[in-house]
């Protein structure tokens, strides 16, 4: 036994080591691009993991494995005996099957442990080669001896694996046998016919009273014992259970307060609120009762207050109470007899009351039958008593179901009572009739199965249906955004209406999933499937799926997505922490901060993705192949994208400009809004967003007005009329420039006498500003000041002027007395710039103001 335990420990050590090795290998693959190192390291790890298995020597290993197998065989013998003894108990059969399946896996693992040694032996044998044949030169004695030793070892391994194989076959056939036994058991229960006439004799009533008396005796004896000797434990157990139930009840009410109790003042509740009230007012109180009873049972058991005869009684009593209460809450939620506006099913108020009573009585009858069955089997009562009780109970249930079908709950056009739709009515009648007929004919097992299914499965399906309807109602547009939960979310979080609507969609899907995940197993459990079956299925779903050389599992992928989402949020959090808490204090430049922030965002995203893929169980070396193929595609098709991407990284690192800078690039002038990895967003001063690919910003010249600082020069040209006092003008302009508060003293403002223009003497004021972005204001101020100052000094600001000399038409008049026509006059006008085109010439003609 001790040896087996030691072996087990070793095996789990090997497994843990294997897992560690896998993780390390993935990490190394990820980090190192050249391949030789990971391979070498992996070999080292492999050897390290083999070491403990071989350290104890092949002989010793063989013995422990053999002992292990024989131990398993003994357990299987015991279990087979158990099957023979418990062939009529379905639950016992299932637990034996679970045990057997576990043993089968153990056998398998034990045989798997030989593999490393076996492959080692095979390799060594191959190295030694075939034995020499007759006539060939003899090989060294040493080689022959080693070959024989290895072959012997291999043979003993083979024998042991053969034993394991036979054991595995045996276990599997026993498991198959159990499945057959259970099928038979189920069919026997349903198809067995009892003698009903014996059950209806007068003695049965007396026997029934006797049994009830026995129950009373047992329970009162137990209670008086508990009260006398174990009162403290009882009180403690009840208190703890009550606390657990109250926590759930009040917690649920606090969270879903408006849903558990309908608001009586609300005249017309929405469909969604009616549905949610229906769902939560069923689930939360039922769950509270369930938790209370389950924890009471658990604590009573924990303080060993339960005697073996009380235990099953209490268990079945509690189950019945939960069932009846659940049916009551559900029926009340759907029918709402006192609150017509909260009713989910459009039935008449009186019919609603009536239906509620019928449903609850049906549940009570079924529960009573179930409870009495437990009592009878506990006390070993006579079969006739069981048959009689079940007969009465099932017939009552059948009648009740038919009665439900007979109610006329709906309104017709004139407002008179109308029966159920035909199909539903016939379904109920057929079900009720089938139960009654089966019971009357003596097929009590079948009748009981039908009536229990009608109550329990019916209740579960009804709840699931409400759940689906709720999900559908939440998903419909705008429904969630108007709900109570959304209003609360809106108050405490930054969600807007669209986000809430999308949240509603997700919530709807989640509710659907939860309803399926909870409802379907519950129904399957009702139909004779066992918990072990369900867990076996879920293991299968969680298992790995192979697609080509890629293998993954659904659970793994979900884990991967979850890990990625968590990684994403951690990155975001780290980003804002670093930006807001660390970099803000270090008086770092906002551009650097932005670059670091963006860089960390991308790095975090990549790391989260890698960890997510790793957690999903997808081997990263498989992705390397994809990456290899992609790089070829990048060479051709994605060239531009990649070049932009790399340019973006360079922009972040080199920072020729940062967000908020005024740049001029590729004919665009504006403020940089955001530097992304592919493109940069620039906002022009007309508020137009221009998305400029990063490669253009890297490859072409970029002008940046605010690169190191915002200092910049601006010029204001101004002309004065010929004949003005230029020195005085220079003085005035300089004075104006100097006196402006935003103009820098150093570099000093400068006034340039720029040239002799066509119609003016041209000056230019050149001033430096500490913030070039303020230039428009400064320009305005200076221009106003110039106009004012010139006016005061009487200095004229001229506009382009032209002297027109009219060669008088006198001598033409001398020749002839005719007045000259327009065209001739125009010809006679002599322009100073006679080479101007005709159109311009006419436009420029202007009368000299003087």
536 sits near other proteins (criterion: CB under 8 A): no
- Round to whole Å and give the CA distance between 408 and 763: 103
Backbone angles phi, psi at 653, to 5 degrees: -80, -45
The 503-532 contact track toward other proteins, x by CB under 8 A, reads ------x--x---x----------------
Determine which residue in the list 24, 62, 175, 698 makes contact with other proteins, applying CB under 8 A.
175
Which tokens is 738 given? 């100097």
Cβ at position 160, least distance to other proteins in Å: 9
Which tokens is 364 given? 């009570």
Identify whether the C-beta of residue 604 lies closer than 8 Å to the C-beta of residue 574.
Answer: yes
Sign of CA dihedral 336, 341, 342, 348: positive
Span 459-488, contacts to other proteins by CB under 8 A:
471-472, 475
179 sits near other proteins (criterion: CB under 8 A): no
Determine which residue in the list 139, 152, 176, 830 makes contact with other proteins, applying CB under 8 A.
176
Residue closer to other proteins, measured from CB, 163 or 411: 163
Determine which residue in the list 212, 514, 545, 561 makes contact with other proteins, applying CB under 8 A.
545
- Round to whole Å and give the CA distance between 751 and 736: 10
Determine which residue in the list 139, 165, 412, 788 makes contact with other proteins, applying CB under 8 A.
165
What SS3 state is found at 42?
helix
Q: How far is CA 756 from CA 489, 716, 726, 733, 848, in A?
A: 73, 16, 11, 17, 21
Candidates 173-181, 297-305, 397-405, 420-428: pick the segment binding other proteins (CB under 8 A). Answer: 173-181
Residue closer to other proteins, measured from CB, 179 or 562: 179
Identify whether the C-beta of residue 615 lies closer than 8 Å to the C-beta of residue 566.
Answer: no
- Round to whole Å and give the CA distance between 351 and 349: 5
122 sits near other proteins (criterion: CB under 8 A): yes
Q: How far is CA 364 from CA 215, 291, 356, 399, 734, in A?
A: 19, 20, 12, 14, 105
Determine which residue in the list 251, 257, 346, 543 makes contact with other proteins, applying CB under 8 A.
543
Residue closer to other proteins, measured from CB, 105 or 802: 105
The 369-388 contact track toward other proteins, x by CB under 8 A, reads --------------------
Within 8 A by CB and 6+ apart from 745, the residues are 738
Cβ at position 184, least distance to other proteins in Å: 18
Cβ at position 677, least distance to other proteins in Å: 34
172 sits near other proteins (criterion: CB under 8 A): yes
Q: How far is CA 463 from CA 269, 329, 520, in A?
A: 20, 11, 12
Candidates 153-161, 438-446, 572-580, 838-846: pick the segment binding other proteins (CB under 8 A). Answer: 153-161
Question: What b/e sequence results for 399-433 when a residue is b if at least 16 CB atoms lie within 10 Å of its CB, and e otherwise?
Answer: bbbbbbbebbbbeeeeeeeeebeeeebeebbebbe
- Round to whole Å and give the CA distance between 52 and 11: 9
Candidates 155-163, 443-451, 494-502, 737-745: pick the segment binding other proteins (CB under 8 A). Answer: 155-163
- Round to whole Å and give the CA distance between 285 and 732: 90
Residue closer to other proteins, measured from CB, 16 or 541: 541
Question: What b/e sequence results for 187-226 when a residue is b if at least 16 CB atoms lie within 10 Å of its CB, and e otherwise?
Answer: eebbeeebebeebeeeebeebbeebeeebeebeeebeeeb
154 sits near other proteins (criterion: CB under 8 A): yes
Cβ at position 519, least distance to other proteins in Å: 13
For other proteins (CB under 8 A), the number of binding residues is: 36
Residue closer to other proteins, measured from CB, 545 or 584: 545
Residue listed under structure tokens 């209806």: 200
Within 8 A by CB and 6+ apart from 826, the residues are 842
Cβ at position 59, least distance to other proteins in Å: 19
Identify whether the C-beta of residue 257 lies closer than 8 Å to the C-beta of residue 273.
Answer: no
Say how many C-beta atoms besides its own lie within 10 A of residue 557's C-beta: 17
Determine which residue in the list 88, 148, 173, 416 makes contact with other proteins, applying CB under 8 A.
173
Residue closer to other proteins, measured from CB, 244 or 479: 479
Smallest Cα–Cα separation from 714: which of 656, 776, 805, 630?
776
Determine which residue in the list 551, 643, 676, 801 makes contact with other proteins, applying CB under 8 A.
551
828 sits near other proteins (criterion: CB under 8 A): no
Residue closer to other proteins, measured from CB, 116 or 798: 116
Determine which residue in the list 124, 188, 488, 544 makes contact with other proteins, applying CB under 8 A.
544
End-to-end CA distance of the chain: 128
195 sits near other proteins (criterion: CB under 8 A): no
Candidates 154-162, 658-666, 822-830, 834-842: pick the segment binding other proteins (CB under 8 A). Answer: 154-162
Backbone angles phi, psi at 664, to 5 degrees: -125, 115
Candidates 113-121, 379-387, 601-609, 664-672: pick the segment binding other proteins (CB under 8 A). Answer: 113-121
180 sits near other proteins (criterion: CB under 8 A): no
Candidates 52-60, 341-349, 540-548, 561-569: pick the segment binding other proteins (CB under 8 A). Answer: 540-548
Greatest C-alpha distance within the chain = 162
Span 581-600, contacts to other proteins by CB under 8 A:
none
Residue closer to other proteins, measured from CB, 175 or 607: 175
DSSP-assigned letter for residue 766: E
Q: For 437, how many CA atoms within 13 A lie in the half-sphere containing its CB?
A: 7
Residue closer to other proteins, measured from CB, 519 or 599: 519
Quote the Cα angle for 294-296-300, to 5°.
Answer: 120
Beta strands 805-806; 702-704: pairing state: unpaired
Residue listed under structure tokens 């067995």: 192
Concatenated DSSP letters of 182-239: HHHHHHHHHH----HHHHTSTHHHHHHHHHHHHHHHHHHHHHHHHHHH-HHHHHHHHH
User: What DSSP element (H or E) covers 755?
Assistant: strand 750-756
162 sits near other proteins (criterion: CB under 8 A): yes
39 sits near other proteins (criterion: CB under 8 A): no
Candidates 111-119, 235-243, 253-261, 312-320: pick the segment binding other proteins (CB under 8 A). Answer: 111-119
Cβ at position 404, least distance to other proteins in Å: 29
Cβ at position 149, least distance to other proteins in Å: 17
550 sits near other proteins (criterion: CB under 8 A): no
Crossing angle for the helix pair 444-475 and 141-191, nearest 10 degrees? 100
Radius of gyration of the chain (CA): 47
Determine which residue in the list 31, 202, 422, 547 makes contact with other proteins, applying CB under 8 A.
547
Backbone angles phi, psi at 267, to 5 degrees: -75, -45
147 sits near other proteins (criterion: CB under 8 A): no
Cβ at position 559, least distance to other proteins in Å: 16
114 sits near other proteins (criterion: CB under 8 A): yes
Determine which residue in the list 541, 566, 630, 787 makes contact with other proteins, applying CB under 8 A.
541
Residue closer to other proteins, measured from CB, 101 or 146: 101
Cβ at position 172, least distance to other proteins in Å: 3
Residue closer to other proteins, measured from CB, 182 or 597: 182
Span 60-99, contacts to other proteins by CB under 8 A:
none
- Round to whole Å and give the CA distance between 441 and 387: 12
554 sits near other proteins (criterion: CB under 8 A): yes
Residue listed under structure tokens 């890629």: 550
624 sits near other proteins (criterion: CB under 8 A): no
Within 8 A by CB and 6+ apart from 749, the residues are 734, 737, 738, 743, 765, 766, 767, 768
49 sits near other proteins (criterion: CB under 8 A): no
Binding site for other proteins (CB under 8 A): 108, 111-112, 114-115, 118-119, 122, 154, 157-158, 161-162, 164-165, 168-169, 172-173, 175-176, 471-472, 475, 509, 512, 516, 540-541, 543-547, 551, 554
């Amino acid at each position: 036994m001790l040896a087996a335990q030691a072996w087990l420990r070793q095996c789990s050590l090997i497994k843990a080591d294997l897992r560690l090795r896998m993780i390390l290998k993935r990490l190394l693959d990820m980090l190192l691009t050249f391949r030789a190192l990971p391979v070498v390291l992996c070999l080292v790890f492999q050897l390290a993991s083999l070491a403990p298995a071989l350290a104890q020597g092949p002989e010793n290993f063989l013995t422990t494995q053999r002992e292990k197998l024989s131990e398993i065989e003994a357990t299987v013998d015991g279990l087979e005996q158990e099957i023979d003894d418990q062939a009529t108990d379905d639950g016992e059969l299932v637990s034996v099957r679970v045990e057997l399946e576990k043993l089968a896996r153990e056998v398998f693992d034990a045989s798997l442990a030989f593999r490393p040694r076996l492959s080692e032996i095979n390799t060594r044998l191959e190295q030694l080669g075939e034995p020499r044949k007759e006539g060939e030169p003899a090989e060294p004695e040493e080689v022959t001896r080693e070959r024989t030793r290895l072959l012997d070892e291999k043979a003993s391994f083979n024998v042991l694996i053969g034993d394991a194989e036979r054991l595995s076959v045996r276990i599997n056939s026993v498991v198959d046998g159990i499945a057959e036994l259970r099928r038979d058991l189920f069919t026997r229960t349903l198809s067995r016919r009892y003698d009903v006439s014996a059950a209806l004799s007068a003695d049965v009533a007396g026997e029934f009273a006797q049994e009830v008396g026995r129950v009373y005796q047992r329970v009162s004896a137990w209670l008086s014992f508990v009260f006398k000797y174990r009162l403290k434990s009882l009180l403690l157990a009840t208190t703890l259970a009550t606390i657990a139930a109250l926590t759930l009840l009040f917690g649920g009410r606090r969270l879903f307060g408006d849903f558990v109790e309908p608001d009586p003042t609300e005249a017309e509740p929405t469909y969604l609120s009616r549905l949610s009230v229906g769902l939560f007012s069923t689930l939360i109180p039922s769950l509270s009762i369930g938790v209370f009873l389950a924890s009471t049972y658990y604590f009573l058991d924990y303080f060993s207050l339960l005697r073996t005869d009380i235990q099953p009684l209490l268990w079945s009593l509690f189950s019945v109470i939960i069932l009846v209460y659940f049916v009551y809450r559900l029926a009340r939620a759907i029918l709402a007899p006192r609150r017509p506006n909260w009713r989910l099913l459009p039935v008449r108020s009186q019919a609603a009351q009536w239906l509620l009573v019928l449903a609850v009585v049906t549940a009570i009858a079924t529960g009573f039958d179930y409870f009495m069955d437990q009592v009878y089997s506990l006390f070993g009562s006579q079969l006739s008593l069981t048959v009689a009780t079940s007969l009465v109970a099932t017939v009552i249930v059948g009648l009740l179901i038919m009665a439900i079908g007979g109610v006329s709950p709906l309104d017709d056009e004139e407002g008179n009572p109308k029966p159920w739709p035909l199909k539903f009515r016939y379904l109920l009648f057929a079900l009720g009739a089938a139960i009654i007929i089966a019971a009357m004919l003596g097929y009590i097992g079948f009748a009981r199965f039908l009536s229990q299914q009608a109550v329990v499965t019916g209740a579960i399906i009804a709840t699931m249906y409400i759940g689906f309807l709720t999900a559908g109602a939440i998903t419909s547009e705008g429904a969630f955004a108007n709900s109570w939960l959304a209003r609360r979310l809106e108050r405490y979080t930054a969600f807007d209406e669209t986000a809430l609507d999308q949240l509603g969609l997700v919530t709807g899907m989640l509710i659907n999933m939860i309803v399926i995940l909870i409802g379907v197993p519950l129904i399957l459990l009702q139909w004779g499937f066992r918990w072990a079956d369900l867990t076996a299925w879920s293991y299968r779903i969680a298992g790995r799926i192979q697609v080509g050389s890629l293998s993954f599992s659904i659970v793994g992928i979900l884990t991967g997505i979850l890990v990625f989402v968590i990684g994403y949020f951690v990155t975001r959090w780290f980003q804002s922490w670093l930006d807001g808490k660390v970099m803000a204090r270090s008086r770092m430049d906002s551009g650097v901060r932005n670059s670091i922030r963006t860089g960390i965002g991308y790095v975090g995203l990549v790391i989260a993705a890698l960890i997510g893929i790793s957690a999903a169980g997808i081997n990263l070396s498989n992705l390397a192949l994809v990456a290899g193929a992609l790089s070829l595609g990048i060479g051709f098709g994605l060239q531009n994208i990649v070049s932009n991407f790399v340019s973006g990284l360079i922009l972040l690192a080199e920072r020729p400009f940062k967000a908020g800078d005024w740049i001029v690039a590729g004919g665009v002038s504006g403020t940089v809004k955001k530097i992304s990895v592919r493109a940069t967003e620039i906002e022009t001063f007309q508020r137009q967003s221009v998305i400029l690919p990063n490669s253009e910003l890297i490859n072409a010249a970029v002008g940046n007005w605010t690169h190191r600082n915002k200092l910049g020069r601006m010029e204001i040209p101004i002309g004065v009329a010929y004949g003005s006092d230029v020195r005085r003008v220079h003085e005035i302009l300089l004075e104006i420039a100097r006196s402006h508060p935003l103009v820098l003293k150093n570099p000093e403002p400068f006034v340039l006498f720029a040239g002799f223009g066509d119609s003016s003497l041209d000056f230019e004021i050149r001033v430096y500003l500490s913030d070039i972005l303020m230039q428009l204001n400064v320009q305005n101020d200076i221009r106003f000041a110039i106009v004012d100052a010139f006016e005061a000094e009487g200095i004229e600001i001229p506009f382009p002027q032209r002297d027109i000399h009219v060669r008088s038409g006198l001598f033409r008049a001398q020749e002839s007395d005719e007045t000259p026509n327009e065209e001739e006059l125009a010809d006679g006008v002599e322009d100073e710039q006679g080479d101007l085109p005709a159109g311009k010439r006419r436009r420029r003609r202007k009368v000299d103001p003087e």
